A = this chain, B = another copy of it.
Amino acid sequence: MQKLIIALGGNAFIQKGQAGTAEEQFANIRKPVASIAELSKRFSIVITHGNGPQSGALLLQQEACDEVPKMPLSIIGAQTQGQMGYMIESTLDEELMRLGISDDKLFLTVLTYTSVKKDDPAFENPTKPVGPAYPDPRPGFVNTSRGWRRVVPSPKPIKIYQWREIKHLMEEGFIIIACGGGGIPVYKKDERLHGVEAVIDKDLATAKLGEQIGADILLIATDVEKVAINFMQPDEKFVDSLTIPEATKFLDEGQFPKGSMGPKVQACVNFIEQGGAQAIITSIDHIQDALLGKTGTHFKK
């Protein structure tokens, strides 16, 4: 079976205007997870996901409480991997039962850590929005399309530590959930792993994992059906395909916002350049159609 790695965007869990209750998150992921359950008949699948709103919520909660010690961002990342892995697993379990294939399919969440360089320039220049958006400016926050959000450094993923486990389990037929929130950022020094205060972009981490496990297809599921050139301008154009030179040129021109479409396009470019066969960006609702070539933006050599 072809290996498919699917990155679920934040809107797979929390939609615009929602507060992000557990009930909302469970209800929202049913749709993409149902697609994935169906696709598991034809593909060997790894699911990855972001954790911006979930880690932001935990950050806000721990800042509001002085009774117990505050945890570093690396632990918060691990907490969201547990939370979201459980949400996806239990929903996947139900969807596989509904399809009558739950006895044939094993699945596992792999807690993931990702190595970064300690001297990555990102640590000097935080760019990754996490947590809820507010209408008013706050210290340490930046103005995003959704409002004012906290930003943290987003260093480049160098290696997903668990790639061997993930590759092995996929080849045994497991559906894998991994790289939650891009993986917990760590660097190794003196045979010790050190967690760092950062959030790795989940799309770049997904492309890296895809490369390491030899995935055939990378699919990034977000809130738009296709990538736009001149987004929100009079000559806006949604494109069916982009060659790597075209995508690279648009990235260089700043066509795609940082911390949003930019890393998604970059992830597709990286994946194809490292030998991946197909990379697709589409919406949560069009995962299956995009894999059939009916929609989405497809990246080509």
A residues neighboring B (CB under 8 Å): 19-22, 56-58, 60-65, 67-69, 71-72, 74-75, 78-83, 85-87, 89-90, 93-94, 97-98, 106, 108-111, 113, 132, 161-162, 164-165, 168, 174, 184, 186, 191-193, 195
Contacts and interface: CB of A to CB of B under 8 A. Distances in A.
Contact of A72 (B22, B63, B85, B186): B22
A161 B68 CA distance: 32
Contacts of A113: 86, 90
B89 A83 contact: no
Contacts of A75: 22, 83, 86-87
A69 B89 CA distance: 22
B191 A94 contact: yes
Nearest to A79: B79
Contact of A108 (B19, B110, B132): B110
A68 B78 contact: no
A199 to B, nearest CB: 15
Contacts of A86: 74-75, 78, 81, 111, 113, 184
